[in-house]
Amino acid sequence: MRPTFSKTYSRRRFLQSAAATSLAFSFLPARVWGANERLRMAGIGVGGKGSSDIDQAGTLGDVVALCDCDDKSLQAKLAKFGQAKPYYDFRKMLDEMSGKIDAVTISTPDNTHALAAALAMQRGMHVYVQKPMTHDVWEARWLRDLARKHKVVTQMGNQGTAEDGLRRGVEAIRAGALGKVTEVHVWTNRPVWPQSPGIVARPVETPPIPANVHWDEFIGPAPMRPYHPAYHPFAWRGWWDFGTGALGDMGCHTANLPFMALELDYPTAIRAENEPPNPETYPGWATVYYEFPTRGARGPVRFTWYEGKLPSGSKNLPPMDLFHGEKPSDSGCLMVGEKGVLYSPSDYGADWKLLPGDRFAGFVAPAPTLARNGKGDQGMKNEWVEAIRGGPKPFSNFDYAGPLTEAILLGNVAIRAGVPLGWDGPNFRFTSSGRDAERYLRREYRKGWSA
C-alpha cells in the first residue's frame, strides 16, 4: 500500500518539500540571540553516544532537562548536570518544558529519532539528531520539511563532516582531481552486534522488566513486544523494529565524503543482493547497488555498498584491483574517476589518498572553498550552536542530511523488497517493481506515539 499522509502533513505539502533543494532553501532564524544569552539545552537519550552528545552541547549552554528510558543512564548524567529536570518520557518533557528549552540533542535508538525531533521542532526547539537521522525513508523527508517550516537549526551527528580532511577531500573531487567520477564503493566492518544468521527470531523467554527500564518508552512508536535483554541496551541495532542495521548505522558516516563531494541526492534505481531476509533481524551480509543520475556538470554515478561476511566466510569488499595494492581497511570508501581513485580508509572520510600514488606524486590541493572546523564531534555541536546564534548553516543540516539519510535507508528497503526498484525522488514514489516495497517506506506508529 502507499504511505498514508495525515491531515496535518498533506501529500501536497510533502511533494512541495521534495521539490526544494538545499541550495534553493535559505535559512532565516526564528529569533536573534544576544551575545551573552545562554542557550537552554536538553538531552533525549543520554547513555552511550548520547552521553558525549549532551556533555559537548552542555559546554555551549545550560542543561535544563535530561531524558532517558533507562534510569541508570539518567542518574549517571544527573550526577554531572544536577540542575537538570529528569524525565523518562520525552513526550512529557517536551510538553512540560515547552518554552523553557532552546535546543535538544537526540541520541536514542533509531526507532525514536524522528518522533522526538518532530515534537521538539514543532515547539520551536533546535535539534541535533544522531545518525541516521531517521528510521524510515519517509521520516527523513518529513523532518526536513518541519525544520524549514519552524525555522529551526538542525544538525545530524555524523562527526566526520566537521573534519578538515573530509572538507579537503570534497574540494579535491570538486576541483577535478579524479576527473569524471563514475563509481563509488563503500564498505563497513558492521554488523558487530547480534543479528542474522545468529538470530532470526524473537526470544521466547519473557524475563521481568528491570526496575531501571521504562519499557513502554523504549518501544516508542514500534509495536509492543515483551522485554528481553536481546534488545536493550545495545543490541537493538540488528532488529528491524528498532535499528537500521549496518547500512543505517554507518552509511551516513562512511558514504558522507562521496555524497558531499559528488553532490548526490536521489538515486533512480536500487537493488540488493543479500542473505534471504527474515522478518525480525537484518541479514548477515548485503551488497546494495545504487544508480545516481547526471546532475549539473556531473555524470551518472554507480554507488555500491558492502556489509557483513559472504557465505564463503570472506569479508564483503569491493574488487581488489581498485585498491592499487593498498590493504583494504575495516571500513572505508573508494571514488573511481577517469584519472585514478580516491581511497579513504576510515569511517569518517577525514583521511584519504589518491591512487596510484606515483600518478599523483605532484598533486597540489586546490585553494580552500569550504570553511574549516577541525574539531570533530565537539565541532559539530559548535557549528550547530553558532548557527542558532545567527551564524552559517551547519554542514550536516537536514537539507543535506535528509537526502543522505533517504538514499542510505532506501538500501534497506531494497534488501527487504528482494527486487530491483526504480525511484522517483522528487515525487517520492517507486517507478518500477515497488508496489510491495512501499510499505517499507513508512511505519504506522503505535497508538499514543504520534506528532
> Domain containing 358 — which CATH number?
3.30.360.10
Q: Tell me the one-letter amino acid at 241.
A: D
Q: Give every CB contact of residue 134 below 8 A, 6+ residues apart in sequence.
A: 110, 113, 114, 140, 142, 143, 405, 409
- Do 246 and 134 lie in a common domain? no
- Do 117 and 227 lie in a common domain? no
Tracing cell 559472504 back to the chain, one arrives at: 310
How many domains does the chain contain in total?
A: 2
pLDDT tens track, the chain, 451 positions: 333 444 344 555 555 544 444 433 445 556 777 777 899 999 999 999 999 999 999 999 999 999 999 999 999 999 999 999 999 999 999 999 999 999 999 999 999 999 999 999 999 999 999 999 999 999 999 999 999 999 999 999 999 999 999 999 999 999 999 999 999 999 999 999 999 999 999 999 999 999 999 999 999 999 999 999 999 998 999 999 999 999 999 999 999 999 999 999 999 999 999 999 999 999 999 999 999 999 999 999 999 999 999 999 999 999 999 999 999 999 999 999 999 999 999 999 999 999 999 999 999 999 999 999 999 999 999 999 999 999 999 999 999 999 999 999 999 999 999 999 999 999 999 998 878 899 999 999 999 999 8
Asked, for residue 4, whether it belongs to a domain, the answer is: no
Torsion of CA 243, 408, 412, 328, to 10 degrees: -90
The enclosing domain of 32 has a CATH number of 3.40.50.720
pTM of the model: 0.94
Asked, for residue 327, whether it belongs to a domain, the answer is: yes
CA angle (204 as vertex; 201, 210 as ends), nearest 5 = 110
Cα–Cα dist 378/374, whole Å: 9
Asked, for residue 35, whether it belongs to a domain, the answer is: yes
Helix axes 398-417, 245-254, angle to 10 degrees: 150
- Dihedral angle sign, alpha carbons of residues 424, 428, 432, 434: positive
- Do 366 and 237 lie in a common domain? yes
Of 33, 333, 292, 87, which Cα lies nearest the Cα of 187?
A: 333
DSSP state of 356: S
- Do 428 and 291 lie in a common domain? yes
Cα–Cα dist 289/241, whole Å: 24
pLDDT score, position 156: 98
* Residue 5, all three cell numbers: 499522509
Asked, for residue 6, whether it belongs to a domain, the answer is: no
- Do 138 and 268 lie in a common domain? no
- Do 139 and 190 lie in a common domain? no
Report how far Cα 249 is from the mean position of its chain's Cα atoms. Answer: 7
Residue 228: which domain range? 160-374+398-451
- Do 381 and 311 lie in a common domain? no
- Do 385 and 404 lie in a common domain? no
Residue 276 CB burial class (10 angstroms; 0-12, 13-18, ≥19)? exposed
Residue ranges of alpha helices (H) inside 256-344 are 256-261
